Amino acid sequence: MQSSSHAAGGAALPVPRLAGHFASLEVQNHAARLGMWLFLATEILLFAGLFICYGVYRFLFPEAWAAASRSLDLTLGTVNTVVLITSSLTAALAVHYAKEGKNKMVAVQIGLTLVMAVGFLVIKYFEYHHKFEIGTLPGRFYSYEGIQLPGVPLYFTVYFCATALHGIHVVIGMIVLAFSMVRALKKADFGPNNYTMVELGSMYWHLVDLVWIFLFPMLYLV
């Protein structure tokens, strides 16, 4: 069943399709948002396990973890933080324009978000490449002669697990947002009554941003 709505000038406003098991579009949108919040809660629990591991080993090997943290490239980490926070702004603007029915601007803002996401991953690639070159790798693969302290290989195990898992979420977020961008360009049906798809994608992207805001000081500033 397709709902319909009209603007003051008589033009039809884009509205989403109402699924048969929902009483109204309001209930349907509320259920979608609730489902996303529950999903995001499970994602936070996933990262919480890594945060706990970090806290335990940071307590057991404080000197080693401080030394290992200083070996990271703070400049690249800071740039990546600025890039990701800015991408959250453009993702939020995409929701704003979707509510106003400005589909081209929705696509532009999501496109900017995706460009910054690619930039984030490229910077992370260079960080990874450098670590592979000098041997600051997880566990038994650690071979860097510059820091030889008990617990340092554990630091890089947590570092790679946390940043790789976060990177996977960045890629997933890019895919979700890309679908919204394609829809904005092809169908141009986002509007005041139909913006949930963009909103949910933006919520997921804010989670990606939030997790990095925790990872950056934990890994680079200890």
Residue 17 phi/psi, 5-degree rounding, is -80, 130
Q: Exposed e or buried b for every residue in 132-152, given b needs 16+ CB within 10 A?
A: eeeebbbeeebebeebeeebb
What percent of the chain has pLDDT above 70?
A: 86
> Tell me, what CATH number does 168's domain have?
1.20.120.80
pLDDT beyond 90 at 104: yes
Point out which residues pair with 12 in neighbouring strands.
6
Q: What is the mean pLDDT of residues 160-182?
A: 96
Tens digit of each residue's pLDDT (9 = 90 or more) over 196-208: 899 999 999 999 9
The rounded distance, in Å, linking the Cα atoms of 76 and 99 is 35
Structural domain contains residue 169: yes
Q: What is the mean pLDDT of residues 134-156?
A: 91
Number of domains composing the chain: 1
The mean of the pLDDT values for the chain is 88
Q: Name the 3-class secondary structure at 1.
A: coil
Q: What is the mean pLDDT of residues 172-201?
A: 92
Structural domain contains residue 12: no
Structural domain contains residue 211: yes
Structural domain contains residue 208: yes
The domain in which residue 79 lies consists of: 25-220
Nearest Cα to 41, choosing from 217, 213, 210?
Answer: 210
Give the containing element (helix H, strand E) for 210.
helix 196-220
Structural domain contains residue 102: yes
Structural domain contains residue 13: no
**How much is the pLDDT for 4?**
41
Structural domain contains residue 132: yes
The rounded distance, in Å, linking the Cα atoms of 6 and 190 is 14
Structural domain contains residue 9: no
* Contacts with 209 (C-beta within 8 Å, 6 or more apart), sequence order: 84, 85, 87, 88
